[in-house]
Amino acid sequence: MKLLILSLCIIANLSNNGKASLESFMPTKDNMILADTTKGSDKSCSRPCKFNVKPRRCTYDFEISPSIEENGRPALTINNLTPGPAIQVCLHDIVIVKVKNKVPNQDVTLHWHGVEQKGTPYMDGVPMITQCPIVFGSTYEYAFIASSPGTFFYHTDSVSHQSDGVYGSLIVDQPQPLEPHASLYDYDRSEEHTLMVGAKFNELLTGHLEGVNQIRPDNLVVNGDEMDTKIFVMQGYGYRLRLINAIALECPLLINVERHPMTIIASDANPLQPVITDAVRLYPGERMDVVVRTDQQSGGYWVRVSGEGVCEGLSAHAMLLYSGFNYTTMLEQGPNPESETNYDTITDSQHLPSLREASPVPSVKSVYLSIDKNSPKFKDADIDFSYRSDAMSKKPFFPAVLSSVKSVVQINGKNFLYPDAPYLLKPRDVHPNIICNVGEENEQMEPQCLQVLKAQANEVIELVLGNEGFNTNDSYTFHMHGQKMQVIATWQNPKNVPVSKSEIYKLYSEDIVTRNERNPPLKDTFVVPNKGFTVVRYTPIYGGSWLLECRSCSTILPVAILINVPISIPKLVIDALPSCGNYRPADLLLN
């Protein structure tokens, strides 16, 4: 009987689709708290990684649902947790995550940020590009091989879902002797020494983002806490810490540890030549691995995180605690704002040399991407929010009101349009009229199109991203799906005046701007400074439809291009994956 009532209730909610507000599904404070930190995390795969042992299958069940935190704040959670369960596996393990969407009226997908998805491009988690969105009540089973070691994380594709709490760490370990910088530290305990920074909002963003241009978080959190995260250490050792900026908005973070310089050893899961610094700057989606030596007087030290950009003025703290130290008083007194900002060096990672040399390339295909804020003439009906709504087949272009917005960030004068069929799986089902080739966007009259750069495997593509700055003073962070890119050059106009494409090419081709072709860092997340540019280069190896996106550029309209690298996906696989629109699995009515 109970089961039936529940089923009816779900059906009622479904038929009411579009009208019911998310809030009406929120559990009350009394019956839902975020407490059980072990729920849903499979500890069987968290282990020291050894040579010559079989990789494991590591299976996780994730249920994404609305919840209420202990302090009464609403959140979207995985298994009632935010951040979600930590995934820690060994190199070559198979990661299987069954994601169930229990968020009414919302589609979700999970993106594995930085994971190459070698041979599994349909596991990249971009709705209508690599898969059909997971509609309310249904499940998608992600499965991929942890093919590279390092610090990664996962998050929902939607900025609002991630901002409301759906993100977590993904650490891929390998046998210690394979770690290039193993000699620099004694302890690498990712389960205790990962600091993942998120932003918190007093209200849910989900369902409230449309038409909102500038969003500012209310505070920052480290592993979900403003001040309570503790890193326990012993005096006289080197500790590898993994830092993750898991914020979806344009919110760079400065991170430092009181009186403890850091040695940067990797960024975006790519080993770097070690650099010592007082503080690091982490852009949204970026990760850094640092070594901290506990060579200070035994005691407690604040780890300070302070926001820039839309997070300017916000801060969060964690504690680095030497064993035996009683931190009660430290916690009561709180951090001392004056002693904290007392550091000389702040280091960004995209200028740092990679540990490995790059092979020289014979020729490159250069593609210019002009990034700026524009004021396109929209009719309401032009605006596409389709990837956030369900029922793709019914409404390929879902209009939304865009009245309050005057300008929006664009690439080559266009906003990205999510297609009406999953591009990777069913390219022939995508309406040809909505596609425009990168560089030829002005042939398309609509303000949005599916911007595709057709790459050939093994050609060298060089993207020159120019943040020209005629209409904006903002810098923007981009994320490349699938493969990492070499960051060859980054430049910001010291005169602080806008730069045009021709000026950028002049500066770049005449070697006025320093280029690093010898050992450029390999990154999946990089910043394009305002009134400046960033040049990235890569050789596509893995077939797939890979987004190069700026999620933090705009919550209004997507800012991205799709880099398509030919691949033929077996029909068997395509048939096995859920199809769009009508996918309502049987288990919806049985749980």
Ligand X SMILES: *[C@@H]1O[C@H](CO)[C@@H](O)[C@H](O)[C@H]1NC(C)=O
Instruction: Note the residues at the interface with ligand X (CB under 6 A).
Output: 326, 328-329, 471-473
Residues 6 or more apart whose CB falls under 8 angstroms from that of 227 comprise 316, 317, 318, 319, 331, 334
* Nearer CB in complex with ligand X: 265/557: 557
Residue 46 beta carbon to ligand X: minimum distance, rounded to whole angstroms: 29
- Give the integer Cα–Cα distance in Å for 527 and 408: 18
| CB nearer to ligand X: pick between 327 and 368 | 327
Q: Specify the residue for token string 């990235």.
A: 536
Q: How far is the CB of 469 from ligand X (least distance, A)?
A: 8
**Distance of closest approach, residue 222 Cβ to ligand X, in angstroms:** 23
Backbone angles phi, psi at 178, to 5 degrees: -85, -15
C-beta separation of 125 from 111 below 8 A: yes
Q: Which is nearer to ligand X, 139 or 471 (CB)?
A: 471
Cα–Cα distance between 39 and 82 in angstroms, integer? 12
User: Contact at 8 Å (CB) between 145 and 57?
Assistant: no
According to DSSP, residue 102 is labeled -
HEC assignment per residue over 481-548: CCCCEEEEEEEECCCCCCCCHHHHHHHHHCCCCCCCCCCCCEECEEEECCCEEEEEEECCCCCEEEEE
Residue 362 CB, shortest distance to ligand X, in Å, is 41
Instruction: Label the pairing between strands 560-565 and 544-549.
Output: antiparallel
User: Nearest approach, Cβ of 467 to ligand X (angstroms)?
Assistant: 13
Q: Supply the minimum distance, in Å, between the C-beta of residue 335 and ligand X.
A: 18
The token pair at 332 is: 């009561």
- Type of residue at 537: R
**For residues 65 and 472, which CB has a smaller minimum distance to ligand X in the complex?**
472
The smaller minimum CB distance to ligand X, of residues 326 and 500, is found at 326
How do 87-90 and 167-173 pair as beta strands?
A: parallel
**457/497 with CB nearer ligand X:** 497
Q: How far is the CB of 479 from ligand X (least distance, A)?
A: 24
CB of 230 to ligand X, least distance (A): 14
**Is 112 within 8 Å of 559 (Cβ atoms)?**
no
Tell me whether residue 202 or residue 375 sits nearer to ligand X (CB atom). Answer: 375
Within 8 A by CB and 6+ apart from 1, the residues are none
Copy the structure tokens of residue 67.
């919840």
Strands 532-538 and 461-467: antiparallel
Inter-residue contact 564 to 450 (CB < 8 Å): no
* Shortest Cβ 252–ligand X spacing (Å): 18
| Nearest-5° Cα angle at 418, 413 to 419 | 115
Choose among 306, 313, 300, 298: nearest CA to 341.
Answer: 306
Residue 82 DSSP label: S
Which residue matches tokens 């990837």? 387
Q: State the Cα–Cα distance between residues 551 and 546, nearest whole angstrom.
A: 14
User: How many other CB atoms are found less than 10 A from the CB of residue 408?
Assistant: 22
Cβ proximity to ligand X, 386 vs 472, nearer residue: 472
- Strand-strand pairing, 448-454 and 435-437: parallel
Q: Give whichever of 333 and 359 is closer to ligand X, judged by the CB atom.
A: 333
Residue 122 dihedral angles phi and psi, to the nearest 5°: -80, 5
Nearer to ligand X, 433 or 473 (CB): 473
Distance of closest approach, residue 304 Cβ to ligand X, in angstroms: 23
Rounded to the nearest whole angstrom, what is the least distance from the CB of residue 245 to ligand X in the complex? 24
Task: Name the residue nearer to ligand X (CB basis): 335 or 498.
Answer: 498
Is the Cβ of residue 428 or residue 495 nearer to ligand X in the bound state? 495
CB of 473 to ligand X, least distance (A): 4
